């Protein structure tokens, strides 16, 4: 059984293609394995990328580029729903929010 707590939106210092702050969403999950924190962009990055390129879906090259930029980071890219996600312990949440922000910034710069 899983329970999901309230989702918190954090506007990062990273700007999208229109100059708006890119948000991260943070929520706590509880399961038999314990409490964890999940950090996601809520598909915001991919939607912004598609709007900037005038595309309706990601190309294979886009997916490869995103995955390449995520190598060496704890952040993952869900190819089914196109969400960026990072799961961590509750104690590591603050540090990983900072890390997720840096990864978003790197992705924004690499895909412009």
**Mean pLDDT for each consecutive 10-residue tract of the chain (112 residues)?**
72 91 92 88 93 91 93 94 93 93 91 74
Q: What is the pLDDT of residue 1?
A: 47
Neighbours of 57 (CB within 10 A): 8
- The domain containing residue 61 runs over which residues? 3-110
Are 41 and 78 spatial neighbours (Cβ–Cβ below 8 Å)? no
* Tally of domains in the chain: 1
Q: What is the pLDDT of residue 5?
A: 64
């Amino acid at each position: 059984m899983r329970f999901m707590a309230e989702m918190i939106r954090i506007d990062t210092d990273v700007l999208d293609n229109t100059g708006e702050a890119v948000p991260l969403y943070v929520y706590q999950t509880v399961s038999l394995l314990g409490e964890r924190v999940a950090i996601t962009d809520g598909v915001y990055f991919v939607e912004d990328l598609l709007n900037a390129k005038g595309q309706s879906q990601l190309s294979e090259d886009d997916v490869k580029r995103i995955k390449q930029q995520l190598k060496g980071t704890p952040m993952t890219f869900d190819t089914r729903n196109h969400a960026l996600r990072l799961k961590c312990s509750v104690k590591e949440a603050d540090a990983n929010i900072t890390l997720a922000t840096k990864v978003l910034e790197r992705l924004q710069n690499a895909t412009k």
